[in-house]
Amino acid sequence: MDPPITSCCRSPAAQAHVSPIVVDIDECAEGKHYCRENTMCVNTPGSFMCICHTGFIRIDDYSCTGTV
């Protein structure tokens, strides 16, 4: 008879203390982002991203410009 399959690396007691609930922080709503002018902050799970306003061109992850 094969031994029962158990999960790797955590005892049942340790697994009992792991919370399945993850709360996302909305960096955009809290003003905890680095988006600059000509961008809009968009919350993503675990992070955020800066989107260029229409007609603007991305310079880097946080900035957009109206001219090249």
Evaluate if residue 11 carries a pLDDT over 90: no
Residues 6+ apart with CB under 8 A from 43: 24, 26, 27, 28, 29
Is pLDDT of 47 > 90?
A: yes
Is 9 within the bounds of a domain?
no
In this prediction, residue 5 has a pLDDT band, given cuts at 50, 70 and 90, of very low
52 within a domain of the structure (yes/no):
yes
User: Encoding tokens for residue 6?
Assistant: 């158990």
> How many residues can be counted in the chain?
68
**How much is the pLDDT for 21?**
85
In which band, very low, low, confident or very high, does the pLDDT at 50 lie, cut at 50, 70 and 90? Answer: very high
**Average confidence score pLDDT of the chain:** 82
Number of structural domains, the chain?
1
Integer Cα distance of 12 and 6 in angstroms: 9
DSSP-assigned letter for residue 4: P
pLDDT cut 70: percent of the chain above it = 69
CATH code assigned at 48: 2.10.25.10
Residue 51, domain member (yes or no) = yes
Instruction: Identify the domain containing residue 36 by its residue range.
Output: 21-65
pLDDT above 80 (res 18): no
